[in-house]
Every structure is written in structure tokens, then in C-alpha cells.
Amino acid sequence: MSSYSLPLRRPLVLADLIPAARARDAALVVAGAGLVGLAAQISVPIPGTPVPVTGQTFAALLVGAALGWRRAGASLLLYLLAGAAGVPWYAGHQSGFGGASFGYIVGFVLAASVVGFLASRGGDRTPLRTVGTMLVGTALIYAVGVPWLMASLGVGLGTAVHLGVTPFLLGDAAKVLLAAGLLPAAWRLVRPRG
């Protein structure tokens, strides 16, 4: 018998620590969508804007970092499609396609995928890297959400930024800092001690 063994693959994202199986991947995709749907129910309306403050942005970015780009993209696409088809798991138990804030939901798919890609390359291992990764994800959500808001409301860029970005900057900064504490800490907890 040969003592040759295959090298162990280094985990790229937190979900890679769970033993591999297609059933695992499917369960993670569904769980990620469910987490975002649950977090969306943490919803606070902001006077003067049709976009509420929710927990779904934070959840979408965490799902991206934890699941990697393929599973996270599939998870947020499932969230979007199931909600558009009638599952009441958008903010405030809403569902359906369209509306002023639907562009942000579309942006979640892109942002979670990119955050997952960056996490697989170490973008969630240190607080500073995590801040950068989460800022990229947040910017992508706005990059899709703001033009959708403009088209939906028939307003210009300045008004859309005033309605769909400015009221959320402080909360988004807090979410980025929270992720910068949580994700590197999760990696420290799961790293083998040697």
C-alpha cells in the first residue's frame, strides 16, 4: 500500500467546512434565502422614502461571504424569484415583482455573488479586508437599486440618492463594522489549532 494521500483542500468560505454533498449545497442555498427573508422582516419605514431600513442587506452580504459566489448567487436568486412569485418574505411580508425598492433586491444577487467571490480569496479573513469586501457589496446594491428607484419613481439621480442612499449610510456603516467583527472571528473559531 502506498502512503500517498491527496492534499486536503483549504476551505475558501465558511460553508466549505461542512462535508461536501449536493444535498448540503441545496440546503445551504435554501437556508441562505430563508435567512435573508427572515432578516427582511426587521423593517423600519423611513418617512419620505419608499425604501425601508431592513436587515436583509446585512443578511445578503453575510450569505455571500459564508456561502461563496455560486451558492450565494443561487440563494439570493431563489430569494428574488420566490418573492416575485408570491412568497411573502420581502420587507414587511411583501412579495411580487416591481416596486420602488425591488432594484435593491436585484442588487442583492449581484452583491452576494461578488462578496462570495472576494471571500473565497480571503476577503473575509481580517477586519480590514472584510470592510473592503462589504463596502464593495454595499456599493453594488446601490448601483442596481438607485437606477431602479429612479425609473420606478420617475426622478433624477440626485433625488434617488436622497431617497435611496443618504438615509441608509449610517446604518450601512454599522452593518459593515459588524461584519468586520463577525466574519474574521468566525474564521478564528473554526481554524484548527496547531
pLDDT, tens digit (0-9, with 9 covering 90-100), for 67-113: 999 999 999 999 999 999 999 999 989 999 988 999 999 999 999 99
Fold exhibited by the domain 15-189: Arp2/3 complex 21 kDa subunit ARPC3 (1.10.1760)
User: Is residue 99 exposed (0-12), middle (13-18) or buried (19+ Cβ within 10 Å)?
Assistant: middle
**Cβ proximity of 18 and 67 under 8 Å:** no
**Cβ proximity of 110 and 144 under 8 Å:** yes
Q: Which of 138, 176, 137, 145 is nearest to 161 (CA)?
A: 145
Which one is predicted more confidently, 23 or 26?
Answer: 26
Task: State residue 2's pLDDT score.
Answer: 45
Joined together, the cell numbers standing for residue 172 give 450601512
DSSP 157-193: HHHHHHHHTGGGHHHHHHHHHHHHHHHHHHHHHHSPP
Please state the length of the chain: 194
Domain ranges of the chain: 15-189
Which ranges of 85-168 does DSSP label H, i.e. alpha helix?
Answer: 102-119, 127-153, 157-164
pTM over 0.75: yes
pLDDT, tens digit (0-9, with 9 covering 90-100), for 169-181: 999 999 999 988 8
Please provide the average confidence, as pLDDT, over all residues in the chain.
89
